[in-house]
Structure 1
Amino acid sequence: MRAYLRSLNPQLPREVWILQAGGLVNMFGNGVIGPFLIIYLHNVRGLSLGVAGLVVATGSLAAFASGFVGGALSDRLGPRVVLSGALVVAAVAFALFPLIRETWHAFALNLLVGIATGSFWPSQSTLLSSLAPPERRHAAFAQQRMTMNVGFALGALVAGAIARTAHPGTFTILFLLNAVTFLAFVAVLQFVPSTRHREERREAGRYADVARNRVFVSYVVLNVIFIGAGIAVMSELLPPFAKNAAHVSEPAIGVIWFVFSAGVAIGQLPIVKLVEGKRRLRGLALMGVIWAGAFLGVLAGGAWFTGTQAAVVFGIAVGVFALAECLHGAIYAPLVVDLAEPQLLGRYMAFSSSSWQIGFFVGPAVGGFVLQHQPLALWPAAAAICLLASLYALAIERRIPAHLHRTPHTDSLAGVPGTMPNMTLATDDPLSTNAQPAPHPADEALRIRGGGSPAPGTTRR
């Protein structure tokens, strides 16, 4: 048992742990708000479920647009600068949410949140990728998913104990608490070194260069489907469904979301260990099948039970969903990094983040109106789409380069071909006075094709 627990150590540098600590604090605030945002807009401020879903979707639309700007700025200014700015903007927006009295107030403030969110994810992912060793990036992204879900779980539990739709002032406490966590993350970032790209041999690229990578685009489309029909539906629409269709109380909703996030937090590192050496796209296909079963569980809970009994069924469903989501945390983002070109990592991460924004736009926008008119129809529809996404994952596996089919093993010392060893700490205190960066495989190929000799230590033996 001790050996197994030691094997779960993600083996990451101190800077990554500091970054993850900031994310944990910030996600505590997001957990305070996440399960209750649509409930606040509908049950406290009087917006219909369809309009409340559109408010959330509008934020995702803004995030989609700002994400491309954030990705480009991350490549030019450095991800830490962009991330800090995004956190400050989000803090201001959430602090103003208690002042919502008209529908347009909700749209305007959620647009501001969306602008911040769009720049948050590509900059945060780029910073994490640059700090983690190439062969441990799958563990770094899995650890991120784990720590953020720990924060989200605790936040949801606290919010469930505070929030009461009959007392709007309780939601003011939630929004201000959330704003404080964004500023706390900014403070933590001061202890994380900034990073920069090495681009001496390459011109800065464009988003058009990313779009020409058809394998990557197909992979992003797959994620749009999984996010829109999977995570967005479960995270945004189950709380109002539980509250208004199954008559589940606010504290019980908080407990359900504690189970959801705690499931990811507990299961993430063991599942990372489990998927090492396994085929990535098959893992995502398995995830879609399990999600489909979880959605049918939600359907059963809403159709046959109410109150506490429904909450128990929903808790089981989201627990199963969460464990399957761990496959996404271990597989999706690391493969994005592996498919990316080194000098365009920020832009690749922005494209990747756009899949989340599109999913969180379509899922709540369409699902909110389905929930308003035919609540029980939403869950089998989501299940069917997840099954189709699983088939699509198997179909595009053959387009992924063969050397990227499998998640690397922990004991890999050489790293994974195609990852980002061209990231370096922007510091005047190097770890070694004579260390030299390993050349990227693409750079080496260009050198040889151009008539140059291979760099020392890169020739085959």
Structure 2
Amino acid sequence: MLKWGGVARPVVPELRLIAVAGVGWLFDAMDVLLLSYILVASAAELGLGVWEKSAVVLANNLGMLIGATAFGRLSDRLGRRAVFTATLLLYSLATSATALVKNGWELAAVRLIAGLGLGGELPVVASYVSELSPPERRGRNVVVLESFWSLGALAAAAVAYFLFPRLGWRTSLLLLGLTALYAAVIRAALPEHKPAPRGAAPVEARRLYPVWYIWLALAFGYYGVFLWLPTILVRERGLAEVQTYQFMLITTVAQIPGYLTAAYLVERIGRRPTAAVFFLGSAASAAALIYSADLPQLYASAIALNFFNLGAWGVVYAYTPELFPEHVRGLAVGTAGSAARVGMILGPWLYPAAGLYALAAVPLLWLAVPAAVYALPETKRR
């Protein structure tokens, strides 16, 4: 055991910590983003129109909203690793169950259960890696952890592009349930870490309010655009289904340099200026994507959006755990995750309710984020 911040912490090699936690993060991202491809692949068989798809997305996001706060608080009491493994098992088994659904209502019910685990894992793992990383590399480590999201996004696109046409979406999802076996790796490779209880939970509201806005705005835009992007490319731009999968696979690669740039900048110039740069870049590239006139412009704006927006996610995940004391960190980060799920619920309704250009609300929300960031303290190496 080592101590920093007056708290005893298990000794874990940093590479192992990031790699093992990161693969769990990858599986979470793959499952979340695979939903957009499932909605395209299963639409004809399950009779899913735009509103039926919206109901499935809503159920998934409600599950994530509940799971973020509930499992975040449980991790403060039961330990980070225990809740990490429980959430991974929950969404992995629910993914397999998705292969058995017969209609849109059953799909919505299964995705509600999957969402509980998906929403619960992210704040718990971010807090865990933050707590077990030395202060001088804490921000970098959490952004690198978040970079596994891009690998999960690539995995989701690859599953849709390579497996769905060959095996069918049902068999593919049944096989993905094997990610449940990874729980055994987590238990063998990582130690438990449970914060020492300190009585009441004095989470400062003056920090929570701007944090909630940042997470809500980020998720509102990300899921409002990315969950519908395959459908938008098919319906609005006339791309074939396979072309759409190819587009998503190519543009998603830009997430990796976005994360790596953010990981460098959070320790070099600080959390707040890095967040401001990446949110302003996200707003500009989202506006360009919405108003793109041809395929080259679509590719260029989507690459820029993947770079800036996923980098912004990395900064936010690194910054948020540092703003709250350890004994309530799971709860605080969990409520931030729940605020994100509110955005995740509201954002995807923009396109089906009001059409493509209603998505212009997304860059407007992101333009206000730097002001919220600068209402919070800088935490670099503190």
The 2-side partners of 1:86 and 1:163 are apart by 26
Tell me the amino acid that sits aligned with residue 376 of structure 2.
Answer: I
The answer on 1:51 being equivalent to 2:52 is: yes
> Do residues 336 (structure 1) and 320 (structure 2) align?
yes
For residue 161 of structure 1, what is the aligned residue in structure 2? 162
Partner of 1:447: none
The SS at the match of 1:362 is helix
Does the C-alpha gap of structure 1 residues 135 and 279 become closer, same or farther in structure 2, counting only changes over 3 Å?
Answer: closer
Instruction: Flag the 1:158–1:72 CA change in 2: closer, same or farther, 3 A.
Output: closer
Separation of aligned partners in 2, 1:183 and 1:81: 15
C-alpha distance in 1, partners of 2:175/2:244?
A: 19
| Aligned 8 A contact 1:33 1:178 in 2 | no
Q: Structure 1 residue 179 and structure 2 residue 177: aligned?
A: yes
Q: 1:215 to 1:29 in 2, by over 3 A?
A: closer
**Residues 33 and 227, structure 2, Cα contact 8 Å, conserved in 1:** no
Q: Which structure 2 residue ranges, 5 or more long, are not aligned?
A: 1-11
Q: CA deviation at 1:41?
A: 4.7
Partner of 2:27: 26
C-alpha distance in structure 1 between counterparts of 2:239 and 2:62, whole Å: 30
Against the structure 1 CA distance between its residues 64 and 282, is the aligned structure 2 distance closer, same or farther, given a 3 Å change threshold?
Answer: same
**What amino acid does structure 2 have at the position aligned with 1:243?**
V
Separation in 2 of the partners of 1:47 and 1:326?
29
- Aligned equivalent of 1:221, options 209, 213, 219: 213
Instruction: State the one-letter code of the partner of 1:94.
Output: T
Partner of 1:457: none
- Equivalent pair of 1:156/1:258 in contact (CA under 8 Å): yes
> What's the offset of the Cα at 1:72?
1.6
Q: Deviations over 1:406-460 (max 9, x none)?
A: xx3xxxxxx41xxxxxxxxxxxxxxxxxxxxxxxxxxxxxxxxxxxxxxxxxxxx
Moved more, 320-329 or 234-243: 320-329
Distance apart, 1:32 and its partner CA? 7.5
User: 1:225-236 maps to which residues of 2 (within 5 A)?
Assistant: 225-228=217-220, 230-236=221-227
Please name the residue that 1:97 is paired with: 98
Q: Does 1:394 align with 2:371?
A: yes
Secondary structure at the residue paired with 2:194? strand
Say if 1:94 and 1:232 are closer, same or farther in 2 by CA, change over 3 A: same
Percent identity between the two aligned chains: 18
Q: Over residues 68-97 of structure 1, what are the superposed CA-to-partner deviations in whole Å (9 max), with x where a residue is unaligned? A: 221121011111111211111112211121
Give unpaired runs (5+ residues) of structure 1. Answer: 1-10, 409-414, 417-461
- The letter of the residue matching 2:345 is F
Under a length normalisation based on structure 1, what TM-score does the superposition of the two structures give? 0.73
The residue aligned with 1:142 is 143
Of 241, 247, 261, which residue of structure 1 is paired with 2:252? 261
Q: 1:50 to 1:313 in 2, by over 3 A?
A: farther
Q: Answer yes or no: is the 8 Å Cα contact 1:220–1:355 preserved in 2.
A: yes
- How many angstroms does 1:139 deviate by? 0.9
Query: Are 1:107 and 2:108 matched, yes or no?
Result: yes
CA distance in structure 1 between the aligned counterparts of 2:251 and 2:142, rounded to whole angstroms: 18
Question: Over the residues paired in the alignment, what is the CA RMSD in angstroms?
Answer: 2.7
Matched, 1:382 2:362: yes
- Retained in 1: the 8 A contact 2:24–2:88? no
Residue 76 of structure 1 corresponds to which residue in structure 2? 77
Q: Residue 43 of structure 1: CA displacement?
A: 4.1
Q: Distance in 1 between matches of 2:241 and 2:183?
A: 28
Is 1:158–1:254's contact at 8 Å kept on the other side of the alignment? Answer: no
Residue identity matched to 1:400? L
Q: How much does 1:395 deviate?
A: 5.3
The 1:147–1:185 alpha-carbon spacing in structure 2 relative to 1, beyond 3 Å, is farther
**1: CA distance between counterparts of 2:124 and 2:60?**
18
- Within 2, Cα distance between the matches of 1:195 and 1:395? 31
User: Per-residue deviation at 1:152?
Assistant: 2.4
TM-score (norm. length: structure 2): 0.87
> Which residue is 1:288 aligned to?
279
Please give the alpha-carbon distance, in whole angstroms, between the structure 2 residues aligned to 1:180 and 1:284. Answer: 36
The Cα offsets for residues 142-199 of structure 1, whole Å up to 9 and x where unpaired, read as: 11122231232144134213334xx9x6111331233222433553443111112234
Contact 1:26 1:178 in 2 (8 A): no
Which amino acid counterpart does residue 173 of structure 2 have in structure 1? F
For 2:89, the equivalent position in structure 1 comes to 88
Distance (Å, rounded) in 2 between the aligned partners of 1:121 and 1:271 = 19
Q: Distance in 1 between matches of 2:74 and 2:135?
A: 23
* Separation in structure 2 between the aligned mates of residue 78 and residue 55 of structure 1, nearest angstrom: 31
- Out of 214, 224, 231, the residue aligned to residue 240 of structure 1 is 231
Taking the aligned partners of 2:364 and 2:322, their CA distance within structure 1 comes to: 30
- 1:432 corresponding residue in structure 2: none
> For the Cα contact (< 8 Å) 1:239–1:253, is it kept in 2?
yes
Instruction: From the superposition, tell whether residues 65 and 267 of structure 1 become closer, same or farther in structure 2 (CA, over 3 Å).
Output: closer
Alpha-carbon distance between aligned partners in 2 of 1:243 and 1:382, rounded to the nearest angstrom: 21
Bigger-Rg structure (1/2):
1
- Deviation for aligned residue 1:52: 0.8
Q: 1:195 aligns with which of 193, 198, 209?
A: 193
Q: Which has the higher helix share?
A: 2
Cα distance, 1:87–1:386 mapped onto 2, change above 3 Å: same
